[in-house]
Amino acid sequence: MAEKNRKYSNALANAQAQAERPEGEAIRLAQDGDATAFEYLYNLHSRRIYCLCLRMVRNTTEAQDLTQDAFLQVFRKIHTFRGESGFSTWLHRLTVNVVLMRLRKSKHVEISIDDRLSSDEGEFSSSIELGAEDLPLSGTIDRINLQNAIGELPDGYRLMFVLHDVEGYQHHEIAKILGCSVGNSKSQLHKARLRLRQILREGSRKKGIQNGKSSRLRALASRSSEVLQFAGA
């Protein structure tokens, strides 16, 4: 009984020590091969990394696999972290690369993050600030419809939209994560929002058509019922 209590006390003390451990210390220990420190970093960041993966691939099983792959890469490469950026930024950059590699293997990424502004983008009005707050998309849009619309975005657009408008990263942070320019980040986000608005409009139009058909069917059924009642009178 005493031995059991001692083990419980040790386990509790270890758990409390992990909870109180600064992230910087955990990173240093993990770089030295401390498994407990790596477990602490996993527990600290795994939920957000899973959510990031889920938003990008829209599949829970694949998101779980990607989360494990991402932390496997962290285990292999944590010694390369030099603290030049925040650990979360480094971790998200690594995760995005893992997801992009999976997407490129499974299917072609329609919009490459490496695309640069080209001459055919002259359609953008000079009065539009690329990457600024998009008021039409920040209004009262049904959350479920919006989530479904985000899932329909091409992979590159969805990645940019999730990083900026969902995860809250600034363009200079996204540029570091994806290895692109700030201007390219703003351009990709602008095009992602345009495509998202188009998807939402098409969904609203289809819903309106379906509602119109339902109304006509209900009206026809009502008239048919009236005719039958008159004929039976």
Residue 3's CATH number: 1.10.1740.10
Regarding whether 217 and 120 lie in a shared domain, the answer is yes
Distance, CA of 134 to CA of 129 (rounded, Å) = 10
* pLDDT above 80 (res 186): yes
Residue that is last in its domain, among 65, 100, 135: 100
Q: What mean pLDDT comes out for the span 214-222?
A: 60
One domain for residues 37 and 126 = no
Together in a domain, 76 and 132:
no
143: confidence class by pLDDT, cuts 50, 70, 90: low
Q: Let me know whether 119 and 224 are in one domain.
A: yes
| Confidence at 127, pLDDT banded by 50, 70, 90 | very low
DSSP letters, 85-130, are: S-HHHHHHHHHHHHHHHHHHHHS--SS-TT----GGGGGS-TT--T
Sign of CA dihedral 69, 104, 197, 146: negative
In angstroms, the CA 56 to CA 97 distance is 12
Query: Does 120 score more than 60 pLDDT?
Result: no
Q: Please tell me the predicted confidence (pLDDT) of residue 61.
A: 94
3-state secondary structure 4-73: HHHHHHHHHHHHHHHHHCCHHHHHHHHHCCCHHHHHHHHHHHHHHHHHHHHHHHCCHHHHHHHHHHHHHH
- Same domain as 228, residue 123: yes
Give me the pLDDT at residue 69, please. Answer: 96
Average pLDDT over residues 174-201: 89
Whole-model pTM? 0.59
Mark whether 116 and 138 lie in a shared domain. yes
**At residue 137, does pLDDT exceed 60?**
no
Name the average pLDDT for the chain. 75
- Shared domain for 34 and 149, answered yes or no, is no
| For residues 164-183, average pLDDT | 86
pLDDT at 173: 84
Based on the fold, state whether residues 112 and 96 are members of the same structural domain. no
Question: Tens digit of pLDDT for each residue in 34-92?
Answer: 999 999 999 999 999 999 898 888 889 999 999 999 999 999 999 999 988 889 989 98
Same domain, 22 and 88: yes
45 and 147 inside one domain = no
Average pLDDT over residues 100-121: 54
For 133, the domain range is 108-233
Q: Using pLDDT thresholds of 50, 70 and 90, give the confidence band for residue 121.
A: very low
Residues 18 and 70 reside in one and the same domain: yes
Give yes or no for residue 142 having a pLDDT over 80. Answer: no
Counting the structural domains of the chain, the total is 2
